[in-house]
């Protein structure tokens, strides 16, 4: 009987051993090569028209395919994230490039950052108003200067000298965002009359203004050489004042990539993401605490950010092709594509 | 015999128990309440005149005493770091406020950041040219706005509305820094003729221009309530172009404070500090890897920063009053003061 039990145990051990490899690869899931987001916020199905939903899905798929075309041909993750973000910058649907939200002064001030996980090289621009694709300017800062971050008129001068496409500020105008600014100003005026702290937050998070502070776009990619890259681009916060800079162009806050851990692009209430260095801390939770990409990013988005009073989401891809896209808002425009070309696009919480 | 041995063991245990408390407190060392820096770089005794050395020591002592006056009276670490940094901003000796280095266009563009370790609130300004004390503007951003970072003309408008002292840009002019710009331009011209990559680095690090990219000032403090704070202020890099932003105003890169770990202010080649999120990563090494403040900051400054090709230093103070001030350059203007008022000021490597 004892011998029988021992033999059974041995058989069980062997079986579990045999099963280990397929079970592990099943647990690891498909290998992702590109993940994108088009902003997190109060995105509710009840507020969406079928036509608008269809347009967002089409734009996200187009961005995914632009990035995938690079990766599948053996191109670099840097080229892939830049290509995907450029599609979203050129689309009026997202708060980046054309379609960016307006500042209090009625201007479009754009921020972007990019990072190379292989070399830890990074580039960023903040508060630029004439560069058609800020993500390409961020990349030029990374590759064609000794600097990491440039701001305002200086960054625009650099982009022009680097041969990037310069546009008239009116290029970024969209009727929808202009109306958003008028709504935000009207709400701020009500808020000022009420002089009530909670109202300020309600105003910032108002369902009618789901794009009031959200709508950043971003991409993370893993190429065939095993290199990670991350890119983020945004118009910032509707009605923003005083040259406010959010988390998107801050390396470590809204954007980070390191081949040893993961690539990350964030979206949300930028101030909280800066105060917690959300992107770098996620990477550090993997490197120094041994957490998986899912657990590390969930720790930040589902615990630390809301504990401080903030909200938003992020996309992340680790060096083994595991991905995570946690968000604590009603929705986040997001999509991913695996090595075999399988596309998945989502908008709402599931 | 057995009983005797047992008794001896018991006595030894008691003795070691009795000794534990003083030994531990001896190991912990004196409790520091304020640490400051006035920049790291190629600071060599052979390049220094006795008068200049004396002036630096006096200025550092004055900054330490300004911060200590706050702490010793039960004031907050935030007030202390702001007071200490203001002294250095007002001194023409340091590359912050008056005495800041010049940009390529012959302007003084100032950056600063401050962070409250208790609340993780933070404020920063970048590229400001008319605010007498940028550190006070950073604090106003933290306390009087919903934002963390403001840049350029917007930040200046905010500072003016907040009632801060506005000065004509000529206030920041010093003859010494102006000559530094002319030297840097001459060197850049030689560099351009040689068109040699290594020369670019030599030029950036040239002994004749030890202030070419260094000279940031900063302070970290621990108050009687156990709250940590960090502050950093800088004029950036001599001859900087294109609205370059360094690490000083980037929360997580050049500045960070968290009561759970430490307060940090960095100085050095900012681009490398941004790419590694040096301040936040030091904090994460303590929080997630259990390193001491000395080991965590040494890991960044003596290993990770030079491994990437950068140089510089930082000051750090943990929640228990342990301090560290690693640097991998020839020198770093630095000083500290303990709870009992004992001052220590140093310039060169030891």
Could you state, in order of their start, the residue ranges of all structural domains in chain A? Answer: 29-348
d(CA A331, CA A123): 29
- Segment holding A135, helix H or strand E: helix A134-144
Interface of A with B in 223-252 (CB under 8 A): 240-246, 250-252
Report the alpha-carbon distance of residue A192 to residue B214 in Å, rounded: 44
Q: Is B103 tagged catalytic?
A: no
Mutate which of A245, A247, A278 to test chain B, going by most B C-beta atoms within 10 A? Answer: A245
In terms of pLDDT, which residue wins out, A45 or B342? B342
Q: Does A289 touch chain B (CB under 8 A)?
A: yes
Q: Judge: A149–B200 Cβ closer than 8 Å, yes or no.
A: no
State the distance between the two ends of chain A, measured CA to CA, in whole angstroms. Answer: 51
Q: Is B117 helix (H, G, I), strand (E, B) or coil?
A: coil
**Residue B215 pLDDT:** 75
Q: Do B252 and A252 touch (CB under 8 A)?
A: yes
Under the banding of pLDDT at 50, 70 and 90, the label for residue A132 is very high
From B103, B129, B130, B216, the catalytic residue: B216
What is the predicted pLDDT for the residue at A214?
A: 66
Name the residue with tokens 């990437």. B308
Coil, helix or strand for B97? coil
Lowest-confidence range among A30-44, A195-209, B149-163, B296-310?
A: A195-209
Please provide the average confidence, as pLDDT, over all residues in chain B: 87
Which pTM was predicted? 0.88
Contact residues, chain A, for B152 at CB < 8 Å? 127, 151-152, 243
Residue B141 has pLDDT above 80, yes or no: yes
Structure tokens at B116: 């409250």
Statement: residue A221 has pLDDT above 70: yes
- Whether residue A295 lies within 8 A of chain B, CB to CB, comes out as no
* A242–B155 C-beta distance less than 8 A: yes
A108 touches chain B (CB under 8 A): no
- In this predicted model, which residue has the larger pLDDT, A12 or B348? B348
Q: Is the per-residue pLDDT at A14 higher than 80? A: no
ipTM of the modeled complex: 0.88
Q: Write down the pLDDT at residue A95.
A: 93
Rg (CA), chain B: 22
Among A243, A250, A280, the residue with its CB nearest the CB of B152 is: A243
B299 touches chain A (CB under 8 A): no
Q: Does B127 touch chain A (CB under 8 A)?
A: yes
User: Contact B251/A250 with Cβ under 8 angstroms?
Assistant: yes
What pLDDT is stored for residue B47 in this prediction?
82
CB within 8 Å of chain A, chain B residues 203-222: 204
Closest CA to B222 of B34, B11, B23, B38: B34
DSSP string, A120-134: TEEEEEEEESSBS-H
| CB neighbourhood size of B107 (10 A) | 15
The whole-number pLDDT of residue B3 equals: 53
Residue A169 confidence (pLDDT): 94
Tell the burial category of A259 from Cβ atoms under 10 Å away from its Cβ (0-12, 13-18, 19+): buried
Identify the H or E element spanning A110: strand A110-116
Q: What mean pLDDT comes out for the span A235-263?
A: 94
Number of neighbours of residue B61 by Cβ within 10 angstroms = 17
Kindly report the CATH number that applies to the domain delimited by A29-348: 3.60.20.30
Single out the residue of A304, A159, A137, A226 nearest to residue B283, CA to CA: A304
The two structure tokens encoding residue B262: 């430490």
Instruction: Check pLDDT > 60 for residue A188.
Output: yes
Q: Give the pLDDT confidence of A26-62 residue by residue, as tens digits.
A: 445 579 999 999 999 878 888 889 999 999 999 999 9
Is residue B196 scored above 50 in pLDDT? no
Q: What integer is the mean pLDDT of B160-187?
A: 92
- Indicate the helix (H) or strand (E) that contains B128: strand B121-128
């Amino acid at each position: 009987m004892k011998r029988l039990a021992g033999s059974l145990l041995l058989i069980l051990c062997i079986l579990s051993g045999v099963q280990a490899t397929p079970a592990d690869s099943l647990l690891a899931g498909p290998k992702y090569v590109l993940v994108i987001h088009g902003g997190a916020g109060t995105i509710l199905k009840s507020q969406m028209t079928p036509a608008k939903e269809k347009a967002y899905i089409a734009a996200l798929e187009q961005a995914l395919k632009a990035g995938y075309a690079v990766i599948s041909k053996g191109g670099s993750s840097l080229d892939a994230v830049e290509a995907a973000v450029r599609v979203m910058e050129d689309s009026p649907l997202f708060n980046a490039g054309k379609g960016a939200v307006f500042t209090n002064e009625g201007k479009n001030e754009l921020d972007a950052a990019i990072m190379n996980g292989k070399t830890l090289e990074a580039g960023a621009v903040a508060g630029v108003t004439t560069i058609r694709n800020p993500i390409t300017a961020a990349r030029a800062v990374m590759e064609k200067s000794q600097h990491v971050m440039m701001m305002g008129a200086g960054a625009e001068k650099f982009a022009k000298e680097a041969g990037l496409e310069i546009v008239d500020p009116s290029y970024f105008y969209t009727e929808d965002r202009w109306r958003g600014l008028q709504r935000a100003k009207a709400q701020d005026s009500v808020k000022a009359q009420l002089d009530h702290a909670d109202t300020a937050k309600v105003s910032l998070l108002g369902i009618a203004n789901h794009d009031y502070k959200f709508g950043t776009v971003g991409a993370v990619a893993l190429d065939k050489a095993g290199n990670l890259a991350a890119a983020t681009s945004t118009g910032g916060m509707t009605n923003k004042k005083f040259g406010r800079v959010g988390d998107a162009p801050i390396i470590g806050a809204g954007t980070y990539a390191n081949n040893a851990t993961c690539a990350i692009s964030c979206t949300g209430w930028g101030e909280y993401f800066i105060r917690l260095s959300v992107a770098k801390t996620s990477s550090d939770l993997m490197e120094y605490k041994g957490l998986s990409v899912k657990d590390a990013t969930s720790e930040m988005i589902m615990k630390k950010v809301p504990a401080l009073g903030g909200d938003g989401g992020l996309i992340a891809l680790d060096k083994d092709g595991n991905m995570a896209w946690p968000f604590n808002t009603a929705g986040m425009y997001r999509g991913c594509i695996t090595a075999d070309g399988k596309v998945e696009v989502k908008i709402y919480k599931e």
